[in-house]
């Protein structure tokens, strides 16, 4: 059920954890409909039951406990990641055919959107050259707080991002998250921030227009900076 539309993009929020197979099938169908001009673009906010996903660059040696949770092969970029309750997942289905065929710009704008949203929640977040995801802290406290993995088919994006609001961080111990073993993972709760899902969703919605501006028309110039 649609929550709202922001600049022509539909937003949906699922109140209960969605099985991964169901989410993947829904994304596949919606991406095809968007590409055919039969459905609006979509941001889908949800949670999953505990599971691991393997991106196209996943190395089996980085799956440390293969029997801990279900493992799903997926066509998104990246390596292994964890999804589970307490983590806000955003599947972002955008028509780049209409907005401009620039995948690099899309990913850069996605990173900036997450950074701005986390900043609104009180987190100093950033990109780090050579690393995937969104990071916070310095020195021994440096850790990843959000992950990104996207796929593009016929210029329609799907998959998207995850933000650690209050997941069980011990569940990340079954993998080498995104192939990076030198740093840990963190969450809003571990950082002492009391914001929950509703506040995280509100921050994402408040910063969405800037994301769209960056990937559309002349706004793509911002991605080149």
Q: How many domains are contained in the chain?
A: 1
Q: Residue 56: its pLDDT value, please? A: 85
pLDDT in tens, the chain (225 residues): 457 899 999 999 999 999 999 999 999 999 999 999 999 999 999 999 999 998 888 889 999 999 999 999 887 878 889 999 999 999 999 999 999 899 999 999 999 999 999 999 999 999 998 888 999 999 989 999 999 999 999 999 999 999 999 999 999 999 887 666 678 899 999 999 999 999 999 999 999 999 999 998 666 655 655
CATH number where 78 lies:
3.30.930.10
The parent domain of residue 60 ranges over 2-224
Helix (H, G, I), strand (E, B) or coil at 49: coil
Tokens of 224: 């080149």
Instruction: Provide the 10 A C-beta neighbour count for residue 5.
Output: 11
Q: Treating both helix axes as pointing N-terminal to C-terminal, what angle do 197-206 and 103-120 enclose, rounded to 10 degrees?
A: 130
Residues tagged active-site: 178
Q: Which residues contact 112 (CB under 8 A, 6 or more apart)?
A: 210, 211, 214
**Triad 52, 58, 61: Cα angle to 5°:** 90
Extended beta strands in the chain, E state: 2-6, 9-13, 42-46, 51-54, 71-73, 80-83, 87-93, 125-126, 134-136, 143-153, 156-164, 184-185
């Amino acid at each position: 059920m649609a929550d709202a539309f922001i600049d022509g993009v539909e937003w949906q929020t699922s109140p209960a954890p969605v099985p991964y197979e169901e989410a993947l099938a829904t994304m596949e169908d919606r991406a095809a409909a968007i590409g055919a001009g039969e459905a609006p673009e979509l941001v889908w906010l949800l949670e999953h039951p505990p599971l691991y996903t393997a991106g196209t660059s996943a190395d089996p040696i980085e799956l440390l406990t293969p029997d801990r949770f279900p493992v799903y092969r997926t066509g998104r970029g990246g390596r292994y990641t964890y999804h589970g309750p307490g983590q806000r997942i955003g599947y972002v289905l955008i028509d780049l055919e209409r907005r401009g065929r620039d995948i690099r710009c899309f990913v850069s704008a996605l990173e900036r959107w997450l950074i701005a949203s986390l900043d609104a929640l009180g987190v100093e977040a950033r990109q780090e050259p050579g690393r995937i995801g969104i990071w916070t802290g310095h020195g021994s406290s440096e850790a990843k707080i959000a992950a990104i993995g996207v796929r593009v088919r016929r210029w329609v994006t799907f998959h998207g991002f995850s933000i650690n609001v209050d997941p069980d961080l011990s569940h990340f111990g079954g993998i080498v998250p995104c192939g990076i073993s030198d740093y840990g993972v963190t969450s809003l709760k571990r950082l002492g921030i009391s914001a929950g899902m509703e506040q995280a969703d509100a921050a994402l919605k408040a910063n969405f227009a800037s994301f769209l501006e960056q990937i559309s028309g002349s706004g793509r110039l911002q991605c080149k900076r």
